[in-house]
Amino acid sequence: MIDTHTHLYVEAFDEDREEAIQNAISEGITDFYIPAIDSDYHQRMFDLEKAYPERVHLMMGLHPTHVKENFKEELDLVKYYLDARNFAAVGEIGIDLYWDKSFQTQQQHAFDQQISWAKSKGLPIVIHCRDAFDEVFEVLEGQQDENLFGIFHCFTGTMEHAKRAIDFNLKLGIGGVVTFKNGKIDQFLNKIPLESLVMETDAPYLAPSPYRGKRNQSAYLSLVRDKIAECYQLSATEISRITTQNAKAVFDIQK
């Protein structure tokens, strides 16, 4: 299995990071895809990659909730790193109007700019969207072409949202929300082609049931997989195989 979205470098793992990673590996997780937040976390990301070079794959981007007054300086740094070295994706990027709407225009600009950089480098994008489906789709419409692809991270939308995202050549990142009683996506998930799904934890956030409300970790990806298997009436092995293939296709992994 591949965890396509996990923040293993954040403070929540400072006490037991190695143990959390080993637990995940023992659950069958081979690779960890690491989204960026902002410059405060870059060194932590690089340190994690150095410790696990075969398993940890970094993204670069500016998280929408961290688009503030200094967003242009932050974007300059993103561009610097994208030009300086290789990354697996540009992410996580997008629009979040749940916490704060005061930087909506700047969020849209940052999202649009980072999509352009991803396309110019042939990289996938990893999208964060909260209370902002219309706004995210509006930006994507302006960028839609054969070079646009990636993952709609932490997908929690409707069937209509799912179809629109897939039309933009995006896979849907399915995580702990699929196990929630009020998560809703489990009610229609099996109507979505399995080829359009990848699995993620978003650790340390959004832990699946029965750990909801506690710290999430990559080892819990197996709980997400089991719920998806239940939705599709397929074996856990088959879900692992297909979603791993899908993740490899997005991130262009040849192994």
Sign of CA dihedral 19, 20, 23, 28: negative
User: pLDDT category, 255, cuts 50, 70, 90?
Assistant: very low
Question: Could you say which architecture CATH assigns to the domain 2-251?
Answer: Alpha-Beta Barrel (3.20)
pLDDT at 183: 84
> Would you list the domain boundaries of the chain?
2-251
Among 67, 75, 166, 71, smallest CA distance to 115 is for 75
Q: What is the pLDDT of residues 187-239, one digit of tens each?
A: 999 999 999 999 999 999 999 999 999 999 999 999 999 999 999 999 999 99
* Residue 191: other Cβ atoms inside 10 A: 10
Q: Which residue has the tokens 């990659």?
A: 49
Phi, psi torsion values for 253, nearest 5 degrees: -95, 130
Among 246, 127, 227, smallest CA distance to 176 is for 227
93-121: average pLDDT: 96
3-state secondary structure at position 131: coil
231-253: average pLDDT: 96
27-38: average pLDDT: 98
Q: Indicate the average pLDDT of the chain.
A: 97
pLDDT at 245: 97
Largest CA distance in the chain: 49
CB 33 within 8 A of CB 251: yes
